[in-house]
Amino acid sequence: MSKLAHMLGPLSIFWFVFITKFSMIQAESKAFFVFGDSLVDNGNNNYLATTARADSPPYGIDYPSHRPTGRFSNGLNIPDIISEKMGWEPTLPYLSPELRGKNLLIGANFASAGVGVLNDTGYQFRLYKLGPRRVLVTGTGPLGCVPAELAQHSRRGECAQELMKAASLFNPQLVKMLTKLNNECGKDVFIAANTNQMHMDFITNPKQFGFRTSKEACCGQGPYNGLGLCTPLSNLCSNRDEYVFWDPFHPTERANRLIVQQILEGSQKYVYPMNLRAIMAMDSRA
């Protein structure tokens, strides 16, 4: 997948890792670890010397504190919502000074805006050997349809075809690789989430999901609000729930909630070979 990875760039896949038991304690416990890029970063980059930060308004405008937290969202991101729906405590950034003591038993978020699938920016190791028993891996989304790409390449709102082709080639290979890993493990450890299809549902028919637009970002500037970063000086929509995209690259909290709904309960069209509810039910009986 190396050639495709170069085309896909930094916006790529992310992993949700579930450890269902800790050997260090007697009682059964669950821990949740997150790896990925800005789509799932919950504040790690606030501790790093980088320009890839979401630490100023209007980021976080719909977060419970109404303040920026380092999440590239108007509110909660996908790991936050998974934790909420599963009744778990939210994970902390791995760089947070609060990640100690009992907070370590909840898990941790290792995501960092700007990482990707290349060896020089991403992680490449066999997670199963490190203890996790369920690993949910998302495919890459429709990269050519984000407002940033529309602003640079689109005349009438059409998606950038080269990036769309790259995603269409990459995602099936990812599923094939995960299936091979499961065969080697002898069980369904790795679960593939088809976030490309989830996003395309919104993009193809946004009104069906209650969105006003899937092309224009809520926060930004230029064509489709797709140029530059979301800043206090950017155009800002009044109702974030009407938009698929919050800024030129990232979904709104409402779009994230619909994505999580499919991860939790979706058919094999969206989550293969089983959804997260089925995984948790199976593990509870083990």
Copy the structure tokens of residue 183. Answer: 């065969």
Amino acid present at 84? E
Q: Residue 284 is encoded by which pair of tokens?
A: 């509870």
In sequence order, the β-bridge partners of residue 236 are 219
CA distances from 140 to 11, 82, 166 (A): 7, 19, 10
Q: Which helix (H) or strand (E) holds 81?
A: helix 78-86
- Find, among 172, 182, 84, 136, the residue nearest to 279 by Cα: 136
38 is catalytic: yes
**φ/ψ (deg, to 5) at 19:** -105, 120
Contact criterion met (CB below 8 Å) for 122 and 128: no
For residues 231 and 50, the answer to whether their CB atoms sit within 8 Å is no
∠ CA 197-199-205, rounded to 5°: 95
Residue in 12, 41, 80, 250 annotated catalytic: 250
Cα–Cα distances in angstroms (integers) from residue 232 to residues 55, 217, 241, in the given order: 11, 15, 19
Question: Which of 37, 41, 80, 247 is labelled catalytic?
Answer: 247
| Active-site annotation holds for 250 | yes
Burial of 139 (0-12, 13-18, 19+ CB in 10 A): buried
Q: How far apart are CA 192 and CA 235, in angstroms?
A: 36
- State the catalytic residue, choosing from 12, 37, 38, 234: 38
Biggest alpha carbon–alpha carbon distance for the chain: 61
Q: Supply the DSSP symbol for 90.
A: P
d(CA 181, CA 121): 22
Active site residues: 38, 247, 250
